[in-house]
Amino acid sequence: MRLYELSEQYETLLEMANEDPGNEKLQEFLTGLEGKIEEKVENTIKVVRSLEAEAKAIKDEEERLKSRRASLENNAQYLKENVQIIMQRMEIDKVKGQLFNISLQANPPKVVVMDEFHIPQKYFVTPQPVPQLQKKDILEDWKHGKEIPGVQVVQDKSLRVR
């Protein structure tokens, strides 16, 4: 067998290994390769090294793309926060554009704990090792006009783009 024929066979082997490494055809092809066993082993390891190098290149590219994606997401978040701050300062609730409608929409009220020691015990669940604050109960009472010491109920706005 000529050297270029062996080379072509190993090119075929590399293509088959890239497609489906567990393939029975690949096993049959390996068995049918002509040449000395030493050549077969060495050339097979060449294919292994080639596959490992390609896998490493793909992994490096994945990491680069992951970093790039995170950077783009952070930039987008920064710009949205900036638009929200500007709209709040200018007291603009809605902007109707040709492509987008941008608005500041009120979020549901949330409980902010200011001083945990002044919150009445009825808002804590105590059969647990550490008593858990039931913010849902605080919100219900707040909606009915009760003032609860130690907490503040706030209602923020967030940017909506449609």
pTM tops 0.75 = no
Question: Kind and range of the H or E element at 161?
Answer: strand 157-161
Is 97 contained in some domain? no
Give yes or no for a contact between 154 and 117, defined as CB atoms under 8 angstroms apart.
Answer: no
- Domain boundary residue among 72, 92, 112? 92
- 71 and 121 in a common domain: no
Task: Residue 109: name the closest of 155, 60, 160 by CA.
Answer: 155
Q: pLDDT-based confidence at 133, cuts 50/70/90?
A: confident
**Number of domains into which the chain is organized:** 2
* 85-94, 106-115, 120-129, 151-160: the lowest-pLDDT one: 120-129
- Domain boundary residue among 92, 115, 142? 92
- 107 and 84 in a common domain: no
- Does the structure show a pLDDT above 90 at 9? no
Q: Which residues pair with 125 in a beta bridge?
A: 132
Give yes or no for a contact between 153 and 113, defined as CB atoms under 8 angstroms apart.
Answer: no
Is 98 contained in some domain? no
- 49 and 11 in a common domain: yes
Range(s) of the domain holding residue 128: 103-161
- 120 and 84 in a common domain: no
Distance CA 142, CA 148 (A): 7
Task: Residue 32: name the closest of 50, 70, 5 by CA.
Answer: 5
- 115 and 69 in a common domain: no
- 119 and 78 in a common domain: no
